[in-house]
Amino acid sequence: MISIKSFLKYLEFEKRSSGHTLIAYRCDLEQFFSFCYNKEIDEISAVTTRIVRSWVVQLVNDGMAPKSVSRKITTLKSFFKFLMREGYIERSPAEGVTTPKIPKKLPVFVRDSEMNHLLDDIPFADDYEGVRDKLILELFYGSGMRLSELVGLTDRDFDLKQGIVRVLGKYNKDRLIPMYKQLIHMIEQYIKVRNMEFGMNKANSFFLTGKGEMVYHKLVYRTVNKYLALVTTLHKKSPHVLRHSFATSLLNAGADINAIKELLGHANLNATQVYTHSSFERITDIYNQAHPRS
């Protein structure tokens, strides 16, 4: 069986896939190769569409979620496409294998009134961590950036005069996000408090821990969860919920969906259109309340 190392190197250096993606692809392929080994198939040329479908059926029968099964099929299709490009095979045995239908999950979001209550009415501590925590919440809600994007911010990413922040998103793609005046003022105040607390920033990170070290994912996640619990009973209280809240608020206010797509850093419009359902539900409520015949 052909080694998957060359395929993973192709993903890493040519496709610039993330570390998480590489790990997932490797695990998927190792699992498939193990299945083939149990079927006494040790040559890539012996892998047929029937074998691929048998593996998919086994995954489904084992109770694997449709989304996970779909990802594994995508992994195989990418792998065989790579082998065709390198001349190892003439036809992909994964061609024609369909992915299971994935039920759409509506985005969970915090209402505007709840976020305004949190950011305007609930007191935060006056010390460094209090100022930092409030800015983290305001920045998530005001920009829609991902957790990894916020953690990776540096001072150089902010242009306060222009009112923009540069974000390094998926696949190492940069995007610029505008900031409103209140958010810019909070950033200026945070930098002032941070520099007074720790002096010159040597951590090469915009957000720092209480000890002056680079902030990390779990700390930010716990911070968001802690404060959202004060204003919402949602089961999920994560940075991604604030990303959903950002997009939903813009859409409800009449923002163009293509503009929202660019702000979120989505590769295609399909990923953004999930928010239109939430917006339509709100429109339906307004219609039912306002129309004289409803």
The domains found in the chain, sorted by start residue, are: 5-86 (1.10.150), 112-289 (1.10.443.10)
pLDDT digits (tens, 9 = 90+) for 1-32: 567 899 999 999 988 888 899 999 999 999 99
pLDDT value, residue 271: 81
3-state secondary structure of 97: coil
Question: Which residues 6+ apart lie within 8 Å of 156 measured at CB?
Answer: none
Under the banding of pLDDT at 50, 70 and 90, the label for residue 294 is very low
Of all residues in the chain, what percent carry a pLDDT higher than 90? 73
pLDDT value, residue 273: 83
pLDDT value, residue 231: 97
| Residue 42 exposure: Cα atoms within 13 Å on the Cβ side | 1
The whole-model pTM stands at: 0.65
Q: Is the dihedral of CA 162, 163, 169, 175 positive or negative?
A: negative
Query: Exposed (0-12), middle (13-18) or buried (19+): which is 79, by Cβ within 10 Å?
Result: buried
Does residue 289 have a pLDDT over 70? no
Which active-site residues does the annotation give? 146, 170, 240, 243, 266, 275
CA distance 14 to 22: 13
CA distance 165 to 86: 41
CA distance 38 to 55: 11
Residue ranges of the alpha helices (H) in 109-256?
A: 112-120, 128-143, 147-151, 181-198, 217-228, 239-252
Query: Exposed (0-12), middle (13-18) or buried (19+): which is 157, by Cβ within 10 Å?
Result: middle
Does residue 281 have a pLDDT over 80? no
